[in-house]
Amino acid sequence: MPLVVLCGRPGSGKSRRAAELREALGGPERRAHVVAEAEGGRAALRAEVERLLSRRDVVIVDAGNELRSIRYELYCAARQAGTARCLLHCAGGSGRPDEPPFEAPEPGNRWDRPLFTVHGEEPLPLAAIRAALFESAPPPPHRATRCQPLQSGGFLQHLDRVTQEVLAAVMAAQRSGAQPGELVRVPGVAEGLVLNRPVSVAELSRLRRQFISYTKMQPSDENLPQLASMFLQYLSRSIQ
């Protein structure tokens, strides 16, 4: 049940590469499933990946996965399933101004590695991809799957406080008359949030609970400085 996550701008050849991977990685001993972006958006994509990861097959995610937070969620899903994974970055694409922002993968981020990058028509590094998926040891059981506390109280308190502050800033901006398309700022965070429509407290609270649930899967002190940014990116992608 290895996972291959594709990422890249529109027009970079992700669907063609996904088809190549399905042909190369599937066979009599295993099936290769391609999960593409659909009407249900990010949540539906993640749910389908999680469903298929329960099988002894290869799962290939043919989607832009342009935000770090999306790739982080898929990384957590693979860790939760105890399966190997890799990221394939399809470089290039149109890069039009009306496209969503693309946050290029960085090998230093554990959710962006092992990382393979292909440009244009160059061949896929299939030998290296197969080694990453089928020859590497599966990830060790994470403490999120063990019968012990998920993380320190300090981490949980910080996560709770940061997400509450982001929600408070969003609601305050809406009460102050922020219009759709305006940038909502959170004190101390470089990134902002553009809301295309009004969002209720109930919806924001639900998204906050989902974000906290996924973040608990992979708790780490390395995430502390990025939690507010990751939550803003999660909101940006989830609120359609």
CA distance 138 to 153: 29
- Over residues 89-118, mean pLDDT: 87
Does pLDDT of 100 surpass 80?
no
pLDDT score recorded for residue 77: 85
3-state secondary structure of 49: helix
Do 52 and 33 touch, CB atoms closer than 8 A?
Answer: yes
- Considering the chain, what percentage of its residues have pLDDT values greater than 90? 29
Kindly state the average pLDDT of the residues 120-128. 94
DSSP code of residue 197: S
Greater confidence (4 vs 70) lies with 4
26-57 pLDDT tens trace: 888 888 999 998 666 777 888 888 888 866 78
Half-sphere exposure of 63 toward its Cβ, with a 13 Å CA cutoff? 27
Give the pLDDT of residue 207.
Answer: 87
pTM of the model: 0.62
Instruction: For the chain, list the strands marked E by DSSP.
Output: 3-8, 32-36, 58-62, 85-91, 115-119, 183-185, 192-194
Amino acid at position 218, single letter? Q
* Domain 3-135 CATH (choose: 1.10.10.10, 1.10.1660.10, 3.30.70.1400, 3.40.50.300): 3.40.50.300
Q: How far apart are CA 201 and CA 170, in angstroms?
A: 10
Distance CA 234, CA 228 (A): 10
The structural domains of the chain, with segments of one domain joined by +, span 3-135, 153-239
Predicted pLDDT at 22:
95
Structure confidence by residue, pLDDT tens digits, 139-196: 654 544 343 344 556 778 888 888 999 999 989 988 888 888 888 888 888 778 888 8
Amino acid 147: pLDDT: 35
